[in-house]
């Protein structure tokens, strides 16, 4: 293998790792966007280990660090950095496969957990004092306002003590208060399912890109090692 070919392959590997790094950074940004625009973390507690926004941020951050290591290893022609990159990338791919399996299992249980968690949060809201459980109350009000829904199954869940966040008017200065009739359970489930799908798609896409990167990088590194092209 001549020197121009080696330089071309090294540049191609660096480019693949850079694309992988960009994808990781994009996934982190997507996770941050989801976290900023979702205000019901205190209402849905059954999914905290694999909450979509948290999963995207963690996986994206790890991927950017690993891919950066691959970029520097290829540019500096450092054997130790590349070996570390291979090992970390392989472990990361295994974790992503495990996460995909967990997503698949939990996706089937969304309907079971959602209504139970929302009903528990609604009962906490109703039984709280004006100064108690402010996080749950604020999150529930935000959800009802944004999704234009009321209660879990419907407005009847409030048993006559309907909060202003259920009102269809803004500002709500009409008596009697007109309220949204549809419950929040179905709307939140649909929103969560869409975010679940985007999270799964992001993890799978990153896994495919990392697999392609490894398939190209490993044989090139082996060729470099056999021919001694400056790798330390």
DSSP label at residue 155:
G
**Please, what's the b/e burial string for 207-216 (b: 16 or more CB within 10 A of its CB; e: otherwise)?**
bebbeebbeb
Q: Which of 18-32, 169-183, 212-226 has the lowest mean pLDDT?
A: 212-226
Question: Which is higher by pLDDT, 153 or 38?
Answer: 153
pTM of the model: 0.63
Position 150 scores a pLDDT of 92
Q: Is 232 helix (H, G, I), strand (E, B) or coil?
A: coil
Is the predicted pLDDT of residue 108 greater than 70, yes or no?
no
Section 126-139 average pLDDT: 78
Position 230 scores a pLDDT of 47
Instruction: Please tell me the distance from the alpha carbon of residue 11 to that of residue 81, in angstroms, as a whole number.
Output: 16
Position 231 scores a pLDDT of 45
Q: Is the dihedral of CA 64, 47, 121, 159 positive or negative?
A: positive
Section 226-230 average pLDDT: 52
Measured CA angle at 151 (ends 147, 154), to 5 deg: 95
Is the predicted pLDDT of residue 38 greater than 70, yes or no?
no
Instruction: Please tell me the distance from the alpha carbon of residue 78 to that of residue 129, in angstroms, as a whole number.
Output: 62
Q: What is the DSSP track for 19-78? A: HHHHHHHHHHHHHHHHHHT---TTT--TTGGG-HHHHHHHHHHHHHHHHHHHHHHHHHT-
Query: pLDDT by residue (tens digit) across 175-224?
Result: 888 888 898 888 888 877 777 777 677 777 777 877 877 777 666 666 65
Domain boundaries, the chain: 3-227
């Amino acid at each position: 293998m001549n020197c121009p070919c080696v330089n071309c392959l090294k540049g191609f590997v660096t480019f693949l790792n850079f694309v992988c790094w960009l994808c990781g950074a994009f996934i982190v940004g997507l996770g941050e966007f989801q976290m900023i625009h979702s205000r019901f973390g205190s209402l849905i507690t059954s999914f905290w280990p694999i909450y979509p926004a948290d999963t995207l941020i963690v996986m994206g951050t790890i991927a950017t660090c690993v891919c950066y290591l691959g970029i520097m290893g290829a540019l500096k022609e450092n054997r130790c950095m590349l070996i570390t990159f291979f090992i970390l990338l392989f472990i990361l791919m295994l974790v992503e496969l495990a996460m995909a399996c967990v997503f698949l299992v939990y996706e089937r249980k969304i309907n079971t957990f959602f209504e139970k968690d929302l009903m528990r949060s609604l009962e906490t809201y109703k039984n709280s004092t004006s100064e108690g459980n402010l996080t749950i109350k604020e999150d529930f009000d935000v959800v009802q306002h944004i999704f234009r829904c009321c209660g879990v199954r419907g407005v009847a869940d409030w048993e006559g003590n309907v909060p202003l966040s259920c009102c269809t008017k803004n500002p709500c200065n009409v008596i009697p208060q007109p309220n949204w009739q549809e419950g929040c359970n179905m709307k939140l489930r649909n929103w969560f399912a869409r975010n679940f799908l985007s999270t799964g798609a992001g993890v799978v896409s990153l896994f495919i890109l990392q697999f392609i990167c490894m398939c190209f990088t490993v044989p090139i590194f082996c060729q470099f090692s056999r021919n001694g092209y400056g790798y330390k």
